Amino acid sequence: MKIEIRQISNLESNLVIGLFNKYRIFYNQESNIELAKKYIQDRLNSHESIIFVAFLENENIKTPIGFTQLYPNYSSIRAIKNWTLNDLYVEQEFRKMGVGELLINKAIEFAETKKAKKLELSTGIDNKTEQGLYEKIGFVRQKPDTEYYTYTFDLQHKN
């Protein structure tokens, strides 16, 4: 199985619409392809997010099987831009095969190239599989709230 991870442009939003819709369904939202399409297209057109897609390569055909979406956030005190890994989704049949880890590592690499000091994310407190992956990669869990754990990956030692 050969996997390629790459950033998509606003002209390629169609590659992630179905995955984004499934991601929303995973988090108990109603299926709504039109909403997914508008949301993704608006984020990319406005340069408000960065999306990396995992493609399965098979006989020169590339099929999208997962994605991650990052949003910038800023610290006025430190005068820096950091990144939030807000969305991570991998098709059910490709989970536990390293695709999520590849997407996260691509996000870390991207944040490092942008001189960010940290990359953060949140996940449901019941999402034990993802929590294990984040901790394996080096994310540190912060204080939980009632529904989510927040994790931070410190990039300061890199910059």
Segment 123-137, tens digit of pLDDT: 888 888 888 899 999
pLDDT of residue 53: 98
Which residue shows structure tokens 């001189």? 115
pLDDT of residue 104: 96
pLDDT of residue 159: 43
| Residue 77, pLDDT above cutoff 80 | yes
Top pLDDT among 159 and 109 is at: 109
Distance of CA 61 to the CA centre of its chain: 23
Q: Which residues contact 151 (CB under 8 A, 6 or more apart)?
A: 120, 121, 122, 123, 131, 134, 135, 139, 140, 141, 142
Which residue shows structure tokens 């996260």? 104
Top pLDDT among 115 and 42 is at: 42
Cα–Cα distances (Å) from 4 to 49, 85, 154, in that order, read 20, 19, 25
CB 21 within 8 A of CB 32: yes
11-22 average pLDDT score: 97
87-92 average pLDDT score: 95
Which pLDDT band, with edges at 50, 70 and 90, does 7 fall under? Answer: very high
pLDDT of residue 144: 67
Question: Which of 54, 52, 53, 55 minimizes the C-alpha distance to 70?
Answer: 52
- Set out the domains of the chain in order of their start, with CATH numbers: 2-158 (3.40.630.30)
Q: How far is residue 72's CA from residue 97's CA, in Å, rounded to a whole number?
A: 28
24-34 average pLDDT score: 95
42-68 average pLDDT score: 95
Q: How far is residue 19's CA from residue 15's CA, in Å, rounded to a whole number?
A: 8
